[in-house]
Amino acid sequence: MLNAYFKFWKNIFNYKDKTNIKDFFIPQIINIGLIILFMLLANMVNNINNIIILTFVKLIIGFIIISLIPEISLMVRRYRDSGTPVYYFLIILVLMLIGNILLKDVKIISYVGKIAHLFNLYFLFKSTKKADN
């Protein structure tokens, strides 16, 4: 389990290889667990000191920003492993950005972002494509 998480950070700029479903989802689960842990710790020290809370919030935001690069490379490798063209990921990423960030107040366009998320999940959950012999 930790081996998959170490590979996640080790292959931070590896966009060429492939990643199976297990090696994709283990880092996702660990990262979500770490973010929840940071949030729980920030909530526990809520009554102690605002500077400590601010530090935890900065840690959470920093961790999320730093982990974006290996997340994107991991998704590209997962798309390759499932046999999905990588440019689908780029199209979906643009649709998610437009629908969820840039035009989130326009109701119909915000649905585009949500639908793009569903397509992304579909491609990430696709089984590994068998290699042609």
- Is 8 a residue whose pLDDT tops 60? yes
Q: Is 81 helix (H, G, I), strand (E, B) or coil?
A: helix
Residues 113 and 96 in one domain: yes
Residues 90 and 36 in one domain: no
Range of the domain at 63: 1-82
| Total structural domains within the chain | 2
Residues 50 and 64 in one domain: yes
Question: pLDDT band at 105, cuts 50/70/90?
Answer: confident
Residues 92 and 51 in one domain: no
- Is 133 a residue whose pLDDT tops 60? no
Residues 17 and 67 in one domain: yes
The residue among 41, 56, 82 that closes a domain is 82
Rounded CA gap, 32 and 17, in Å? 24
Residues 63 and 91 in one domain: no
17-53 per-position pLDDT tens digit? 989 999 999 999 999 998 888 778 777 766 666 777 7
| pLDDT value, residue 89 | 93
Residues 120 and 97 in one domain: yes
Rounded CA gap, 76 and 97, in Å? 17
| pLDDT value, residue 101 | 74
Rounded CA gap, 104 and 110, in Å? 5
Residues 67 and 89 in one domain: no
| pLDDT value, residue 24 | 93
